[in-house]
């Protein structure tokens, strides 16, 4: 079973920041998940929500702010752990620190409620510009049209559908659009889902088990990977 960092190592550093992503490299985990949106001036930026309200000292929608305005905010302002001043990174800044590493990149396209036209092509282009090998790339989205589009734009990359609730034969829905992975909420996945997926060579990665016991349950039903907030800390307890 593989271990992915969710929004970087978001238990120990503010989520979706360079510090959280660098920690995933440092911790030698299998992959790192992070979320991408467009700024007003068309720059890919790494943040979870459509607004900056929950995670920074600012307010407003990401799409209504330029990258300069976004990067003037403190992305550590609302972090519950050790205080740290940091910024919303651009996709380029994140790719620059990930390029020399070997872990996988699970880039979540946050096209769920805002279309962000052109985001799929933009992200592929930036990954290529940074020389990130195709086999390190794994794209996912709750917007399955986005998954289908990025898969069509570059059939070499791996893609997966995200879903927060049970859906009918998710592996069939994935395969129908060319995706080979399913990324369900861990509370929604069943042993049968995993068996059906594996019978068709579809990979199952779950987000976001909260406790080591949750992870043990995921291992019992046979998932391929867990996307968690402190993969190294959990893995050490899990294996210890």
Annotated catalytic residues are 6, 48
Report if residue 104 touches ligand G3P, rule: CB under 6 A: no
Structure tokens given for 70: 């976004």
| CB closer to ligand G3P, 162 vs 218 | 162
Q: How far is CA 39 from CA 42, 86, 147, 205, in A?
A: 5, 18, 20, 29
DSSP code per residue over 218-232: HHHHT-SEEEES-HH
Q: Give the nearest distance from C-beta 68 to ligand G3P in angstroms.
A: 25
Residue 35 pairs in a beta bridge with 108
> x/- site string to ligand G3P, residues 133 to 172, per CB under 6 A?
-------x---------------------x----------
State which of positions 30-89 bind ligand G3P (CB under 6 A): 33, 35, 48
Out of Mg ion, ligand G3P, none, what residue 103 binds, judged by CB under 5 to 8 A for its kind, is: none
Residue 209, token pair as written in the block: 């088990």
Q: Which residue is nearest to ligand G3P (CB)?
A: 207
- H helices of 83-224, where? 91-98, 119-129, 144-153, 170-176, 191-199, 212-221
User: Of 3, 6, 127, 146, which lies in the binding site for ligand G3P, with binding defined by CB under 6 A?
Assistant: 6
Pick the closer one to Mg ion by CB: 30 or 108: 108
Other CB atoms within 10 A of residue 152 CB: 12
Other CB atoms within a 10 A radius of the CB of residue 210 amount to 12
* Ranges within 172-201 binding ligand G3P (CB under 6 A): 183
How many whole angstroms separate alpha carbon 171 and alpha carbon 194?
9
192: which 2 tokens? 């049968």
- What residue 207 binds from ligand G3P, Mg ion, none (CB within 5 to 8 A, per partner kind)? ligand G3P
Q: How far is the CB of 208 from Mg ion (least distance, A)?
A: 9
For ligand G3P, the binding residues (CB under 6 A) are 6, 33, 35, 48, 108, 140, 162, 183, 207, 227
């Amino acid at each position: 079973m593989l271990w992915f960092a969710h929004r970087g190592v978001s238990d120990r550093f503010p989520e979706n920041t360079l510090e959280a992503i660098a920690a995933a490299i440092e911790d030698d985990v299998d992959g790192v998940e992070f979320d991408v949106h467009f700024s007003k001036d068309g720059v890919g930026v790494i943040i979870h929500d459509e607004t900056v309200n929950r995670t920074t000292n600012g307010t407003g929608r990401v799409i209504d702010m330029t990258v300069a305005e976004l990067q003037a905010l403190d992305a550590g302002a609302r972090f519950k752990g050790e205080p740290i001043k940091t910024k919303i990174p651009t996709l380029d800044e994140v790719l620059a620190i990930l390029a020399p590493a070997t872990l996988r990149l699970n880039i979540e396209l946050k096209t769920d409620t805002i279309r962000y036209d052109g985001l799929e092509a933009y992200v592929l282009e930036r990954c290529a510009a940074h020389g990130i090998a195709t086999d390190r790339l794994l794209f996912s989205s709750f917007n399955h049209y986005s998954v289908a589009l990025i898969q069509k734009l570059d059939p070499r990359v791996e893609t997966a559908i995200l879903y927060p609730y049970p859906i009918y034969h998710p592996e069939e829905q994935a395969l129908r659009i060319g995706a080979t992975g399913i990324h369900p909420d861990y509370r929604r996945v069943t042993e049968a889902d995993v068996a059906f997926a594996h019978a068709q060579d579809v990979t199952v990665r779950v987000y976001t088990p909260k406790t080591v016991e949750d992870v043990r349950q995921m291992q019992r039903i046979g998932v391929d990977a867990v996307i968690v907030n402190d993969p190294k800390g959990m893995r050490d307890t899990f294996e210890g």
